[in-house]
Each structure stands twice: as C-alpha cells, then as structure tokens.
Amino acid sequence: MLVLWLVPWSRAGLVVFFVSVVLAGTWAAQQAERVLGVKDPGAIVIDEVAGMTLTVLVFPLTLPTLAAGLVLFRLFDVTKPFPARASQRARGGFGVMVDDLIAGVYAATVLALLRAVTHWP
C-alpha cells in the first residue's frame, strides 16, 4: 500500500480511488472467476487493495498509520470474524470483495480506538 503513502492524496481523491477500486474490482473479480473457473482465486488481489484503502480512508496517511492499518487489516482478513467468513458465500465479484471490505471496517474501527486511546495524531 505504498501508493497510499507516496501519492499526495486529497481526501476526495482517496474516496474516488476507493470507490473506483471497489467498482472496478467487483467487475474484474466477477470476470476472473468466470474465466478461471474458481471461486475467489488467489490471483485476485484487488479486494485487498479495497480493504486496505477502506482501513485508512478517514485517517492521515502517515507511515505509522499505514503500517498499523496494514497489520490490523491483514489480521482481520486472515481471521475473518463474523460476518466476514459468512459473506464469502456470496457469489461473483461481490463475494470476492465483501469479506475484505468487512475486514477493512474492523481494522478501521480498531485503528480509530487505538488512535483515541493513545492520542496518536
């Protein structure tokens, strides 16, 4: 997610990036599943881009925030707490994307709590 740190995003630009990734990623994941004949193939990584972007969407894009966001996002992406695991039953591109977006919401929530408790800017 180095691109989130290296590019001088405005908040609006980051929101447009996120929405574009979700929309294009949902369509692309649908096509990839159809072509590859496999549900949620490992070759699809756009869902991780969407989930990580959602994790840090409302925070300053500092290196510590991005690093903590990445660790938290991966934790929730791997463990898939409810309803993320259940959401994987959804079909098509939506099914590919939704569990990572849920992981992003969980990670953003924990990141917000960490920032509030530690008074980290």
Quick one: pLDDT at residue 1? 63
Instruction: Answer for the pair 95, 109: CB distance below 8 angstroms, yes or no.
Output: no
Quick one: pLDDT at residue 36? 86
Quick one: pLDDT at residue 119? 84
| Residue ranges making up the domain that contains 84 | 2-118
Mutual orientation of helices 92-118 and 63-79 as an angle, nearest 10°? 130
Q: d(Cα 45, Cα 1) in Å, to the nearest integer?
A: 12
Count of structural domains within the chain: 1
Nearest to 49, CA basis, from 76, 20, 27: 20
- pLDDT tens digits for the chain (121 residues)? 666 766 677 888 899 999 999 999 999 999 998 898 888 777 788 999 999 999 999 999 888 999 999 999 999 999 999 998 888 778 888 999 999 999 999 999 999 999 999 987 6
Quick one: pLDDT at residue 5? 64
